[in-house]
Amino acid sequence: EEDRAWDPTGTTCYEDLQLGLSLIKMLIDDVAAQNPDMGQIIRLLADGYQKKEILEIVKLNKGKTQGYAFIEKAQSLAKEIYLNNYC
């Protein structure tokens, strides 16, 4: 029965992971509330898509250079929201 006892020195990695994922979802929702396209971009970046792939998925009606600049702007907005609301 000792094997099933609660271990106060056990890891919290699963709880930490869940907290991190929840924070990312809230951040994406906050970005999307300000600009839906930017929210979609941040979601795709979080899912591991490359910027080139994102430009193919999200129809921004912008040229390649402007598209990359828009992605950078979305990242800046996400960083600003994170620093203002989650730190």
What pLDDT, in 10s, does the model give residues 10-53? 777 888 888 889 999 999 999 999 999 999 999 999 999 999 99
CB atoms within 10 A of CB 62: 13
Non-local (6+) Cβ contacts of 46 within 8 A are 24, 28
Q: pTM of the entire structure?
A: 0.81
52-67 pLDDT tens trace: 999 999 999 999 999 9
| DSSP code for 2 | G
